[in-house]
Amino acid sequence: MAGGPVFSIGWQNGAFVPANRVTLPLLAPGVTYAASVFEGVRAYALDGGPGVALFRLGEHLDRLRRSCEVLGLDEIPDPAEMARTMVDLMARNGVTEDTYIRLQVYVDGDGEMTARGPTGVAMLARPRPQLTARLENGVRCQVSSWRRIGDNASPPRVKAAANYLNGRLAGLQARADGYDTALLLTEDGQVAEAPGACVLLVRDGMLVAPPVTAGILESLTRDTVLKQARDLGVTARVIERPVDRTELYAASEVLLVGTGMEVTPVVGIDRFAVGAGVRGPVTQALQTAFFSTVRGAAAAPDGWLTHIPQTKESGT
């Protein structure tokens, strides 16, 4: 949850509390056995005036509910209540800037590995400024020797804390070898995703996405970018299909999309330059469309932007 200091007010198990009091107990299965799921939601300062809006909050909470079901919780937080709580948290903190909100659901108490409750819920927010240099200059990736977890082992479409060990191992390897981040393949050798982001590529005038069956999180940012690409016609076609490793080297553009990465160009993979080794025109067009939408400068589909009432100056 990279960014600035956490805002001063947090929320846990039904109460707004000082942020430094939002903690997870050591013996809870949510900590001891990583029995927890989460959502990371972005809020963006709106162009052309004051105000902040959460992006695709309802769909984040729908995905959280599905994750909780797979986790096997007896009590699942109500999405409508979580939405009201998140809006209230933002308003109480007087947020006026780009922000990341973490909503964590975990097995509380001190039960065994298979405990189904009690359910704990916690929420914190912190500033998350736009990383302009990364969006312009891109990142360099390594195809990892670690393979992506599979649906029959630890389902990647569940946003579970335990799943992120896979990406951590790949990311550590990539950093040690001089890259910014990693790209993971499935056990069958097909392109899956990066740690915390989905992969898209441009080949022969088409925008290509590995399918949701390729060991990926069903990313809302991915869904947004693919919808916008189809609507804008930035490439001749937008298709979802299996992607081979060497297609990454043959692509004219590669980009990473996700809540944290937003829409980030990949300029090199395994010491090969991607295209001309700089951000390409399709990526730039998709960045423009994405940020125009999340900042309210372009019309967004119903429900994509949840506006936050401004009550006071923010505090961290």
Which residues are catalytically annotated? Answer: 159
DSSP label of 126:
E
Instruction: Say if strands 193-194 and 52-55 run parallel, antiparallel, or are unpaired.
Output: unpaired
Cα–Cα dist 85/46, whole Å: 21
Two tokens at 39?
Answer: 């959502």
For 226, the enclosing helix (H) or strand (E) is: helix 220-232
Cα–Cα dist 39/196, whole Å: 12
Instruction: Report CA-CA distances (Å) from 234 to 45, 71, 85, 225, 263.
Output: 26, 39, 38, 11, 15
DSSP E strand stretches across 108-195: 119-127, 139-147, 181-185, 193-194
Beta bridge partners of 139: 266
Q: Is the peptide bond before 50 cis (omega within 30 degrees of 0)?
A: no
Sheet holding 9-12, edge to edge: 15-18, 9-12, 119-127, 99-107, 36-45, 52-55, 305-308
Instruction: Report CA-CA distances (Å) from 92 to 148, 254, 281, 314.
Output: 40, 40, 41, 8
Two tokens at 125?
Answer: 């927010």
Neighbours of 304 (CB within 10 A): 19
- Distant-in-sequence contacts of 81-84, Cβ < 8 A, 24+ apart: 82/121, 83/57, 83/58, 83/306
Cα–Cα dist 17/240, whole Å: 44
